[in-house]
Chain A
Amino acid sequence: MRKYDTTFIIDGNLQEAAREAIIEKFSGILQKLGAEIDQTVRWGQRTLAYEMKKCNHGYYVIFYYRAEPTMIASFERDLRLHESILRYMTLIYEGKHPDYIRDEGAVGESASSQVSKKDTDEDFEEPDLTDVDEETDDYLDEEIDMNLPENEEIETDQEKEKE
């Protein structure tokens, strides 16, 4: 068994249901061949750098799996024959999934995590803002007190000069 990384691009014009059906279909094909899928990453909708098969947008999906080398050929044949797959690339991979690619796949999880982040942000924001306001008020008061006499002096100097 070897570790592989297959990335493929699904036609970006497809509806979500059709797209998910394709992803399920191909993960099913892999499992039938006897491969073990470690991770499925939905990179998500991206603008293509150039037009492919009249498409300007594509949905990128990454499979990380372990399989025998003989399985790859038949899996790639299935990818090639599918009309909605624009491109695919299989590489042997080492190491971990890179940080800079976000998984859009688990929609429910990501949404919940976003909500939790928002909640924490709000908790932090409220006390911070009040503190900052008080501090700035203090500074402002001080500055005004300091500035006024200086200005008066300058004015008086100028007036004296004029006189």
Chain B
Amino acid sequence: MLNDRRGKIKICKFCENKDFDFNYKNEKKLRNYITERGKITPRRMSGNCAKHQRKLTIAIKRARYMGILPFTSEIVK
């Protein structure tokens, strides 16, 4: 029962692939870590470790300020 609810243990992708560029200009890659609404995906969904989630969050917030990523975006119906 418990195992079913917890699901698979995810491994941080950035720990596996160390070449990732945490630059706020890296729009294409950062877009993988925001939802349709423009929210940053939580760690429980992306499976990132704390260190890399922090770096990612900073990059996304910088990108938002510079108009590269949205603060919010409405879902087009």
Contacts and interface: CB of A to CB of B under 8 A. Distances in A.
Interface residues on B, range: 10 to 19
Nearest to B69: A49
A9, A49, A50, A87: which has the most chain B beta carbons within 10 Å?
Answer: A49
A86 interface: yes
B21 A9 contact: no
Contact of B65 (A87, A100, A101): A87
Q: Looking at chain B's contact residues, is the secondary structure mostly helix, strand, loop, or mixed?
A: loop
Interface in B2-28: 21, 23-26, 28
Contact of B67 (A87, A98, A100): A87
Contacts of A89: 24, 62, 65-66
Contact of A49 (B21, B23, B28, B64): B64
A46 B27 CA distance: 12
A37 to B, nearest CB: 18
A9 B66 CA distance: 8
Interface string B34-70: 0000000000000000000000000000101111111
A87 B26 contact: no
A75 B64 CA distance: 22
Interface residues of A, number: 15
Interface in A38-58: 43, 46, 48-50, 52, 58
A7 interface: yes
B28 A100 contact: yes
Nearest to B64: A49
A22 B64 CA distance: 24
B24, B68, B73: which has the most chain A beta carbons within 10 Å?
Answer: B68
23 contacts: A7-B25, A9-B66, A9-B67, A43-B25, A46-B68, A48-B67, A49-B64, A49-B67, A49-B68, A49-B69, A50-B71, A58-B67, A87-B65, A87-B67, A89-B24, A89-B66, A98-B21, A98-B23, A98-B25, A98-B26, A100-B25, A100-B28, A101-B25
Interface of B: 21, 23-26, 28, 62, 64-71, 73
3 pairs of A and B residues whose beta carbons are closest in the complex: A48-B67, A49-B70, A49-B67
